[in-house]
Structure 1
Amino acid sequence: MTIRLNRRTALGLGTVATAGTVLGTSGAASAAPGNAEPAPTTPARAARRVAAAYQRETTRAGGNWQAYVSVADPAGAPVVAVADEADRRIEAYSVNKIAVAAAVLDKVDRGLLTLDQQVEVTAAIVVPGGDGIFSLDGAYPSAVTLGHALAALLTVSDDTAVRLCGLVCPAAEINQILRDKGFVNTQVQPVANPNRFFLGTSTPRETHDLLRALVGGTLLSPASTGYVLKLLRSPIAYTDGIRREMSSAQRARIATKAGWYADARHEAGVVFDAAGAPVLTYALFADGQAGADDFGATHPAVAARARLGPRLLAAVDRLTGVGVTHRAAPHRPSNGG
């Protein structure tokens, strides 16, 4: 199998090994799910496997890709698997809802807000025809808790939930909280109404670093960290991309958030080991592929991530994560009653 290598990816992959080593046709890097090749047992080998899979799937999907992916290493700093235009500042779309939630929960951690306080849902604040559930309600005015709004924000990526967060954490405050935490490129875009904003920008590296700070316990309190991860790992969270071709148990090992608008299809998240320790962090930004009007699972970039997901999981399946463990919440389906 011949894998094409563009210059920008070769430069990014240089932190793991030379391009010839990373993308050679022999060894672990060329293995695919179902192959007899055993799963890597070192972070460096896992990173090479990830790099090869990323190159294969992004080449197949076409368009433009910007990404940053690392594998945790108990011996030291994470091993960088992919650094593809990692510092390019781009529109993050709904991936930035993680950052918005982090800003709101920072205020919760400081005692300025509570998850059980109510926010008013008026007809004027609902985004008509948008993603999520609030636009389907049809009964306004109503009120929900802030916790409900955040759950809708991070699971079904509700557009109206963005505006509800803005009621309690205005755009300027969100941006200042994020800057204070070191995320100067991950910013929402203010508009004339101080309580509204567009979701703004980030870079692959900064989104990756924000996720690592989250799972590392340095972004939010333990309670707020657990709350965010419970939402991002829940069965109802995004399943069209990385998690699509996985069992429910495998999906529970992935915390992920996607963002889609115009021709962009992004996704970022964390893979955990069997014990719940973070073992791989990814930020994958894509645009320019065919099918800008396709917001479903058949979009080339979404399909590429769906193929990539099991490969990421297989690449780190025999590795031990690093840092705080975050066990998945038990999934207890109900039949009513």
Structure 2
Amino acid sequence: MVSQLNRRAALGLGTIATAGAVLGLQPAAAGAPDAFEADPLTESTPIEAARRIRAAYNKEAAAARGNWQAYITVPGSSEVAVSDEPDLLVEAYSVNKIAVAVAVLDKVDRKQLSLTQRINVTAAIAAGDGDGIFRLDGAYPSSVTIGHVLAALLTVSDDVAARLCGELVPTAEINSILAKKGFRKTQLQPVANPHRFYLGRSTARETHALLRQLVTGRLLSRSSTNVILSRMRSPIAFTDGIRKEMSSAERSRVATKAGWFGSGRHESGIMFSRSGKPSLIYSIFANGQAGAGNFGATHPALRARARMGRAFFDAVSPLPGESTEVELDLPLHGPSNGG
């Protein structure tokens, strides 16, 4: 990679370190020449942020190769930050678990289900392959609340939790709820058992629209909106992609959901301003990169998203974010030493 002389290089590391101490900035770590190089911002406009995000996305997607579909916006910008084959219908994998949660919580809002309602985790439901924590139990049947199911679904992307959601809301009903809300491309794939499904397809644009409607309060009640966003924003939500190169405080300002299977490595979510307002909405699908059997943070698409995430966050961090119709209740989470 050919390095370019920019203001950071001209000023020198000592000057940057002094500036960082004064301004509270975090310069890029030394010895990481492949990181997206951009001058840290103390002031910005939405359109400037959108252009910086576009540059970072284009650079990292090209370096990682493979196929990319994305739709990314900065609220308040007259330009879409990224529109890269946004209407291509692709396998969404676990990103569609957001849509599954929306369908379950739609029934909660209509008083047909309750978060405190219990459901049994049987050996049959837990059998088979997949990620998550329910399969680590080993003692069935067990009983959990719907709230517990959704927490596992949206944080550690538990596949048994997805099956439990199918027990609560059959596949055809989930698809019907999503279609009635305008998401006709975000649909699960039915199987013979009406309570089971493959996670189905979506597009980058429609997943983005779902997130935007969610965060602006047009999709679910305030309480149900917060169930989804607080789980996606928690410390145990996905950290190998967009949030990888962030501090714990910075990660708490990002609600994210990843999906992976085969060569697919997807991630969609929302970044929030310091005051808790949405400042970036992203939907990024990637497949065809090298290392299809590698589901860790060293996969090329995940490395690309980690650099994108750092650049995206720095670009929108100075922005106040967009006022929404719903007051979000997104508490910070911290570690514990027991007791």
Shorter chain as denominator, the TM-score bin is 0.7 to 0.9
Cα 1:42–1:284 shift into 2, 3 Å: same
Deviations 1:43-102 (A, max 9, x none): 1111110000000000110100000000010xxx76311000000111000000000000
| 2-structure distance, mates of 1:128, 1:175 | 24
Deviation at 1:327? 5.0
Aligned: 1:336 with 2:331: no
What's the counterpart of residue 260 of structure 2? 260
What's the counterpart of residue 214 of structure 2? 214
Instruction: Give the superposed CA RMSD.
Output: 1.7
Preserved contact between residue 40 and residue 46 of structure 1 (Cα < 8 Å): no
Deviation at 1:39? 5.1
| 2-structure distance, mates of 1:62, 1:196 | 34
| 1-structure distance, mates of 2:109, 2:128 | 32
Percentage of identical aligned residues:
60
Counterpart code for 1:336? G
Deviations 1:261-287 (A, max 9, x none): 000000000011100000110000000
Counterpart code for 1:164? L
Within 5 Å, give how 1:181-260 maps onto structure 2: 181-260=181-260
Counterpart code for 1:329? P
Counterpart code for 1:72? P
What's the counterpart of residue 328 of structure 2? 326
What's the counterpart of residue 25 of structure 1? none
What's the counterpart of residue 105 of structure 2? 105
SS of 2:123's equivalent in the other structure is coil
Aligned: 1:270 with 2:273: no
| 2-structure distance, mates of 1:114, 1:103 | 13
Aligned: 1:86 with 2:86: yes
323-332 or 46-55: bigger deviation: 323-332
Deviations 1:163-216 (A, max 9, x none): 100011000000010001000000001111110101000000000000000100
Aligned: 1:59 with 2:62: yes
SS of 1:218's equivalent in the other structure is coil
What's the counterpart of residue 152 of structure 1? 152
Deviations 1:87-118 (A, max 9, x none): 01110000000000000000000000001111
Preserved contact between residue 116 and residue 147 of structure 1 (Cα < 8 Å): yes
> Aligned to 1:48, which of 41, 47, 51?
51
Deviation at 1:129? 3.7
Preserved contact between residue 275 and residue 327 of structure 1 (Cα < 8 Å): no
| 2-structure distance, mates of 1:169, 1:184 | 18
Cα 1:309–1:47 shift into 2, 3 Å: same
What's the counterpart of residue 11 of structure 1? none
Deviations 1:128-162 (A, max 9, x none): 34100011110011111111011000000000011
| 1-structure distance, mates of 2:235, 2:305 | 18
Cα 1:86–1:224 shift into 2, 3 Å: same
What's the counterpart of residue 167 of structure 1? 167
Q: Structure 1 unaligned segments of length 5 or more: list them.
A: 4-31
Cα 1:115–1:271 shift into 2, 3 Å: same
4+ runs of 1 displaced by more than 2 Å?
32-40, 323-328
> Aligned to 2:74, which of 71, 76, 79?
71
| 2-structure distance, mates of 1:289, 1:40 | 36
Q: Structure 2 unaligned segments of length 5 or more: list them.
A: 4-34
Alignment TM-score, normalising by the size of structure 1 = 0.88
| 2-structure distance, mates of 1:63, 1:33 | 19
| 2-structure distance, mates of 1:61, 1:49 | 18
Deviations 1:4-33 (A, max 9, x none): xxxxxxxxxxxxxxxxxxxxxxxxxxxx76
| 2-structure distance, mates of 1:320, 1:115 | 33
| 2-structure distance, mates of 1:41, 1:54 | 18
SS of 1:210's equivalent in the other structure is helix
Counterpart code for 1:38? L
Deviation at 1:326? 3.0
| 1-structure distance, mates of 2:50, 2:199 | 31
Alignment TM-score, normalising by the size of structure 2 = 0.87
Deviation at 1:38? 3.3
| 1-structure distance, mates of 2:92, 2:100 | 12
263-272 or 37-46: bigger deviation: 37-46
Preserved contact between residue 72 and residue 280 of structure 2 (Cα < 8 Å): yes
Deviation at 1:335? 1.1
Preserved contact between residue 40 and residue 315 of structure 1 (Cα < 8 Å): no
Within 5 Å, give how 1:291-330 maps onto structure 2: 291-324=291-324, 326=328, 328-330=330-332
Preserved contact between residue 190 and residue 197 of structure 1 (Cα < 8 Å): yes
Preserved contact between residue 66 and residue 85 of structure 1 (Cα < 8 Å): yes
Preserved contact between residue 252 and residue 332 of structure 2 (Cα < 8 Å): no
| 1-structure distance, mates of 2:302, 2:89 | 21
Preserved contact between residue 185 and residue 202 of structure 1 (Cα < 8 Å): yes
| 2-structure distance, mates of 1:135, 1:78 | 47
Preserved contact between residue 70 and residue 78 of structure 1 (Cα < 8 Å): no
Count of matched residue positions in the alignment of Structure 1 and Structure 2: 306
Preserved contact between residue 33 and residue 314 of structure 1 (Cα < 8 Å): no
